[in-house]
A and B are shown apart, each in its own frame.
Chain A
């Protein structure tokens, strides 16, 4: 017997009404990942959005061949793959199951079709994802500010490099 996820417990679904949740639930397919299994690989396709209902995942980004940086450890309930939905369907980081993970996946294309058709359920989902990203942008801004001041403090190689780099960072900023 397959258990339907309780989407109400997943923060980005909490503002949807029962009908809208039901509409999305119909599209969700259950899937599970073993501990250690890779869900997304950096640089590889990211064509599904996963609603994680139990377990913990880790997010990594490669620093150099053979070296990677742990970026985040995320516990259920959460959603992954939303960046692929909003930008290119290519993972910008790797995501691995730290424990056994129970999830429900929905295809990116299907969600984009619903958005094109102005489906209220899909629209509200994107609104909530946008709210999450807005908060994350606030956190990233602080990181960027710190990175800029570190770069300036260690500026041993002449300031031109830094100016270019700083301009690049600032350009992508949403204050």
Chain B
């Protein structure tokens, strides 16, 4: 059952049937009720979730306890993966993913994934490669968009852009 679900997710397409089975064996079905957090901003991201059914919203906290809706993901448009960054990274989640109605998902725990890496299992390395490529592609686009946003802000006459731009200098990869 889990394997069938994984098979329909683009994120897992590149794996062989045997490799998908390996992940199916270490995954579990989990369900979330309306309003329940699947990923919580600031908390450790301990699992990758394949959202199998239902709708989730992605929110980012604002000062004063409010939050802003960033996106809504409806799985009827296709199964989506969230939390993939957490399998590789250590930093906490940068947004909250919350179930709107009933949500069913498949969970791959980070600990299990890392054990598979330590054991040198090709399936785990293939998934890492896939996540790395996804992150690289998104980072490339985000970098372009951020540069675009800087241009846009400058064209609106923002004056303290120099200081803002300096803060953008982060741990860059090329």
Report which A residues bind B (CB closer than 8 A).
40, 46, 59, 61, 63-64, 69-74, 80-84, 86-87, 91-93, 95, 115, 118, 120, 123-124, 126-127, 129-147, 150-151, 154, 156-157, 165-175
CA distance A145 to B137 in the complex (A): 19
20 contacts between A and B (CB under 8 A): A73-B169, A86-B137, A92-B143, A118-B122, A127-B117, A130-B128, A130-B135, A133-B139, A133-B173, A134-B90, A134-B91, A137-B138, A140-B143, A145-B60, A147-B150, A151-B149, A170-B58, A171-B71, A174-B134, A175-B58
Which DSSP category, helix, strand, loop or mixed, fits chain B's interface? helix
CA distance A137 to B145 in the complex (A): 14
Whether B146 contacts A143 by the Cβ 8 Å rule is yes
Residue B26 lies at the interface, judged by CB distance under 8 Å to chain A: no
User: Which residue of the partner chain B has the closest CB to A92?
Assistant: B140
Contact with A along B154-169 (1 / 0, CB 8 A): 0010100000110111
Whether B149 contacts A140 by the Cβ 8 Å rule is no
CA distance A84 to B158 in the complex (A): 33
Residue B64 lies at the interface, judged by CB distance under 8 Å to chain A: no
CA distance A158 to B94 in the complex (A): 28
Chain B interface size, under 10 / 10 to 19 / 20 to 34 / 35 or more: 35 or more
Whether B125 contacts A86 by the Cβ 8 Å rule is no
Tell me whether A118 and B133 are in contact in the complex, defined as CB-CB below 8 angstroms, given that A145-B60, A151-B152, A175-B94 are known contacts.
no
Residue B65 lies at the interface, judged by CB distance under 8 Å to chain A: no
Whether A147 contacts B139 by the Cβ 8 Å rule is no
User: Which residue of the partner chain B has the closest CB to A82?
Assistant: B173
Tell me whether A172 and B138 are in contact in the complex, defined as CB-CB below 8 angstroms, given that A136-B171, A136-B172 are known contacts.
yes
Report which B residues bind A (CB closer than 8 A).
39, 41, 58, 60, 70-71, 82-86, 88-95, 97, 117, 120, 122, 125, 128-129, 131-147, 149-153, 156, 158, 164-165, 167-174
Total A-B Cβ pairs within 8 A: 189
By a CB distance below 8 angstroms, the chain A residues around B136 are 82-83, 86-87, 133
CA distance A168 to B143 in the complex (A): 12
User: Which residue of the partner chain B has the closest CB to A131?
Assistant: B88
Partner of A173, one of B92, B142, B158: B142
Q: Separation in Å of the A43 CB from the closest CB of chain B?
A: 12
CA distance A93 to B139 in the complex (A): 12
Q: Separation in Å of the A107 CB from the closest CB of chain B?
A: 17
Whether A136 contacts B39 by the Cβ 8 Å rule is no
Tell me whether A135 and B91 are in contact in the complex, defined as CB-CB below 8 angstroms, given that A92-B140, A150-B158 are known contacts.
yes
CA distance A167 to B141 in the complex (A): 13
User: Which residue of the partner chain B has the closest CB to A86?
Assistant: B136
User: Which residue of the partner chain A has the closest CB to B69?
Assistant: A170
Whether A126 contacts B132 by the Cβ 8 Å rule is yes
CA distance A137 to B174 in the complex (A): 13
By a CB distance below 8 angstroms, the chain A residues around B137 are 86-87
